[in-house]
């Protein structure tokens, strides 16, 4: 039997409780109570019930999360990023799950309560693999005491919820400083804020893209960290790949991308179907083909591969896992709906939406799209971000737009003032009616492009699931 | 007619979709047969009085604001001369703060303002975040509403006698206490409202455009009405959001 990614012996967790922790209830009783609550929540159809047990456990005894995590014999790995954390974690799970039993919050419940719920549900798990909300990372890291942390990117996202980018970055920096001394750090060197953390921890594994042939001609409008994290001068980019991710250097003080431990080279974008690249690591190189599109997924794969490598996975296991991977739910999905197909790509912030637009247009610009803008807390109550998205390449090919969701009219304005004829825009706030209108306008055997924000995506999936076309995600996750 | 816009620090202050405001001004000008030319005025570039019909300053994060504050101080005379000469000005959020006398940021550092607006701003420990609705009377007897989104730690205090942009119907406004939002000095307006502000408030977009055109033409222009059905629908939804959930961050 192959070894199971052991960590150094002094790190092996025991069942003993951390000193000084007061135990108000026996942990077993708390677990039983919280698990029952999760089942009740699902029975009551209050959604997936994915965070209910954890919320309850956390209320009863916040320290229980720490103790549950400490029971995992192989420890835990955390993944955080503005964009791609669900996909990265799913890729890493594909690689690591072949050999060890994982506690993995694959439904995307990524606050402390979601991690707690996953720990409760995952009986017999050996390794924790958690995607973590950017703002929650410091607390989750303090409780879980991870053996590895993978940081993917920081983009402007839901400023009404997360606050300024600098604030999140400062939280990450202090979280990194507080990690256990032998915890491994995996960093995206192409993001200036994150690449700079390599100086906090010698030996950090740094990944990045190194293929100027797929670089963008210029920084996108929504590029964020474009000024030197050290001295404030504008960076010069030898290559910009996704948003502000790229090969940057400050002409004033010399701060630049750190040397890459793991790199993607010879990238071949293959429309909506796939992207291939050469994965270069210190252990050797492999040609990798992902069955999901886009340069942003190359970043996700690099993050997953670098993390898995740090945890002890072999290059063969990494290549095989990435080859097996299919998209994380709702991020990129083709759903057969009767004799038509729905192609659904999640949009949630400028950098992510730009990549969705680029991917769709590269796959052949559609003449019709349904775009859904909600403004619930999970979407961001402030919808101004849609004006920072470069929708124009998509807009240029559209004959018709169905704008939907709670802020459908605002979305319609984005396209009207982007240059689209207002007569070609239909405002249909009801998601179900908009989906039906889109399908009606789609020829038989055709494909309808749907770009929803997070809660709109959940609602649209529920609608098609209600018609028997997809399973609810919490069943799929089982 | 060509309308020249000086967009201050577009490479630093662009956090709240400021290009949406610019796009609205450009289209609404074009639909009336005018051309909007937008010129970047960034670090080291002078503001030449008379060159611009409208100056636009967007919002930035604390870090970007600090990066431009010193440069803006060097532009102070140029900006004041432009506004005194009748150029219109719209400043949103961070830009609004920098045009007051001073801004004390989150870290307790004082950033110099240029004193175009008679106000001071202090960063508070709790951000004021949410939908916001104002009632404005920019022309005597004509009361209209502005709907937007605010997200600011700064508490802005207007001097006695300073003219606010509007009265807060829902949301926080300048400081969460006074009941006022923004500041107006002639054709210069500063406000915390983004969203962006202009797409869902077409009357105000036209008011700003009219100020800029008046500078170019030397007299108030006639702006023919446009079909604003979508804009009014977006305004109604945004106003509804402010009434139900504004001012409760």
- DSSP code per residue over A256-322: BPPPPSEEEEEEEEETTTEEEEEEEETTEEEEEEESS-SHHHHHHHHHHHHHHHHTT--HHHHHHHH
Question: CB-based contact (8 Å) between B171 and chain A?
Answer: no
Residue numbers in A near B194 (CB within 8 A): 382, 384
Which residue shows structure tokens 């105000």? B204
Regions of chain A where pLDDT drops below 70: 1-27, 29-30, 33-34, 36-52, 58, 60, 160-163, 221-223, 328-330, 470-478
Are B245 and A166 in contact (CB < 8 Å)? no
Q: Say what the ipTM of the complex is.
A: 0.96
The pair of three-digit structure tokens given for residue B230, joined into one six-digit string: 């979508």
Give the pLDDT of residue A389. Answer: 94
Q: Given CB atoms, is B191 within the 8 Å cutoff of chain A?
A: no
A-chain CB neighbours of B14 within 8 Å are 221, 388
Going along chain A from its start, the domains and CATH numbers come out as 62-324 (3.40.1190.10), 332-476 (3.90.190.20)
| Inter-helix orientation angle A27-43/A52-60, to 10° | 150
To the nearest whole Å, the CA of B232 is away from the closest chain A CA by 9
CB pairs under 8 A between A and B: 94
The distance of A233 to chain B (nearest Cα, Å) reads 9
Q: Which of A163, A385, A410 sits opposite B200 (nearest CB)?
A: A410
What DSSP line would sit under A190-221, residue for residue? TSHHHHGGGGGSTT-EEEEE--GGG-BSS--T
Residues A413, A391: Cα–Cα separation, whole Å: 12
| Burial (CB count within 10 angstroms: exposed 0-12, middle 13-18, buried 19+), residue A215 | middle
| 8 Å CB contact of A164 and B241 | no
Nearest to B61 among A164, A375, A419 (CB): A164
Residues of B in contact with A160 (CB under 8 A): 129-130, 149, 151
* DSSP for residue B175: T
pLDDT at A362: 85
> Could you state, in chain order, the average pLDDT of each consecutive group of 10 residues for chain B (249 residues)?
95 86 97 96 92 94 82 94 96 94 81 91 90 96 97 94 97 96 96 96 98 95 95 97 85
pLDDT on residue A120? 87
**B194 included as an active-site residue:** yes
Task: Give the list of residues 6+ apart from residue A285 with CB closer than 8 angstroms, or none.
Answer: A278, A279
Give pLDDT, residue A271.
Answer: 83
Cβ distance of B234 and A407 shorter than 8 Å: yes
Name the B residues in 60-119 with CB < 8 Å from any A CB.
61-64, 67
Model pLDDT, residue A105: 93
Collapsed DSSP state (helix, strand, coil) of residue B55: strand
Is A166's CB within 8 Å of B62's CB?
Answer: yes
Assess whether B52 carries a catalytic annotation.
Answer: no
Place of tokens 């050797």: A284
pLDDT 10s digits, B172-191: 999 999 999 999 999 999 99
Residue B231: closest CA among chain A residues belongs to which residue?
Answer: A413
How far is the C-alpha of A296 from the C-alpha of A354, rounded, in Å?
A: 10
**Domains, in order of start, for chain B:** 2-245 (3.40.50.880)
Peptide bond into A468 cis (omega under 30): no
Q: Which pLDDT tens digit goes with each residue over A285-324?
A: 999 999 998 999 999 999 999 999 999 999 999 999 999 9
Among B7, B52, B152, B194, the active-site one is B194
Is A384 in contact with B127 (Cβ distance < 8 A)?
no
Q: Which residues pair with A342 in a beta bridge?
A: A335, A448
**Catalytic residue from among B93, B136, B152, B215:** B93
Residue of B nearest to A232 (CA): B67
Mutation choice for B interface testing from A158, A225, A374, A387 by most B CBs within 10 A: A387
């Amino acid at each position: 039997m192959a070894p199971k990614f052991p960590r150094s012996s002094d790190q092996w967790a025991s069942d003993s409780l951390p000193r000084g922790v007061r135990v108000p209830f026996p942990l077993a009783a708390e677990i039983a109570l919280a698990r029952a609550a999760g089942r009740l929540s699902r029975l009551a159809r209050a959604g997936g019930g994915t965070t209910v047990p954890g919320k309850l456990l956390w209320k009863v005894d916040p320290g229980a999360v720490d103790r549950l995590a400490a029971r995992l014999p192989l420890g835990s790995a955390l993944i955080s990023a503005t964009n791609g954390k669900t996909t990265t974690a799913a890729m890493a799970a594909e690689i690591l799950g072949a050999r060890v039993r994982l506690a993995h919050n694959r439904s995307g419940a990524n606050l402390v309560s979601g991690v707690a719920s996953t720990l409760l549900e995952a009986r017999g798990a050996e390794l924790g693999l958690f995607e973590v909300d950017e703002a929650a990372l410091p607390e989750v890291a303090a409780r879980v005491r991870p053996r590895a942390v993978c940081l993917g990117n920081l983009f402007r996202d839901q400023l009404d919820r997360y606050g300024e980018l600098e604030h999140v970055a400062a939280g990450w920096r202090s979280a990194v400083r507080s990690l256990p001394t032998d915890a491994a750090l995996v960093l995206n060197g192409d993001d200036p804020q994150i690449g700079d953390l390599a100086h906090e921890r010698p030996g950090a594994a740094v990944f990045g893209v190194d293929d100027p042939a797929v670089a963008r001609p210029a920084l996108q409008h929504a590029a964020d960290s474009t000024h030197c994290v050290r001295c404030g001068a504008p960076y010069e980019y030898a290559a910009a790949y996704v948003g502000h991710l790229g090969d940057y250097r400050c002409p004033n003080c010399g701060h630049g991308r750190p040397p890459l431990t793991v790199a993607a080279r010879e990238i071949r974008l293959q429309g909506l179907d796939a992207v291939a690249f050469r994965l270069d690591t210190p252990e050797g190189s492999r040609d990798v083909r992902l069955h999901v599109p886009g340069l942003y997924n190359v970043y996700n794969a690099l993050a997953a591969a670098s993390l898995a490598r740090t945890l002890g996975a072999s290059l063969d296991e990494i290549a095989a896992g990435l080859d097996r991977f299919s998209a994380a739910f709702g991020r990129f999905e083709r759903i057969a709906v009767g004799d038509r197909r729905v192609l659904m790509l999640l949009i949630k912030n400028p950098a992510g939406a730009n990549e969705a637009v680029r991917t769709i247009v590269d796959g052949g610009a559609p003449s019709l799209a349904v775009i859904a803008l909600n403004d619930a807390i999970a979407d961001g109550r402030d919808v101004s971000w849609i004006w920072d998205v470069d929708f124009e390449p998509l807009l240029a090919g559209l004959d018709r737009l169905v704008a939907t969701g709670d802020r459908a009219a605002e979305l319609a304005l984005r396209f009207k003032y982007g240059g689209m004829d207002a007569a070609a825009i239909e405002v249909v706030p009801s998601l179900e009616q908009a989906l039906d209108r889109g399908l009606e306008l789609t020829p038989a055997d055709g494909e309808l492009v749907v770009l929803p924000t997070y809660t709109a995506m959940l609602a649209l999936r529920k609608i098609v699931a209600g018609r028997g076309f997809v399973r609810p995600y919490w069943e799929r996750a089982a | 007619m060509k309308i020249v816009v000086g967009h201050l620090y577009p490479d630093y202050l662009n956090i709240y979709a400021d290009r949406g405001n610019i796009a609205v001004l450009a289209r609404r000008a074009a639909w009336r047969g005018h051309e909007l030319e937008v010129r970047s005025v960034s670090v080291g570039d002078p503001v030449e009085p008379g060159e611009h019909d409208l100056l636009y300053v967007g919002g930035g994060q604390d870090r970007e604001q600090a990066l431009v504050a010193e440069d803006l101080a060097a532009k102070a005379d140029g900006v004041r001369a432009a506004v005194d000469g009748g150029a219109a000005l719209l400043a949103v959020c961070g830009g609004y703060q920098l045009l007051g006398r001073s801004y004390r940021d989150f870290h307790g550092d004082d950033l110099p303002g240029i004193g175009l607006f008679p106000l001071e701003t202090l960063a508070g420990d709790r951000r004021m975040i949410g939908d916001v609705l104002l009632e404005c009377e920019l022309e005597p007897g004509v009361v209209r509403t502005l709907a937007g989104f605010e997200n600011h730690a700064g508490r802005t205090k207007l001097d006695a006698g300073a003219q606010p942009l509007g009265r807060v119907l829902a949301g926080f406004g300048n400081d969460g206490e006074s009941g006022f939002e923004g500041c107006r000095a002639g054709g210069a307006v500063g406000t915390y409202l983004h969203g962006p502000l202009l797409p869902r408030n077409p009357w105000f977009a036209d008011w700003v455009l009219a100020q800029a055109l008046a500078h170019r033409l030397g007299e108030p222009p006639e702006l023919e009405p446009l079909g604003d059905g979508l804009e009014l629908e977006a305004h109604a939804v945004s106003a509804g959001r402010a009434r139900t959930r504004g001012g409760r961050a």
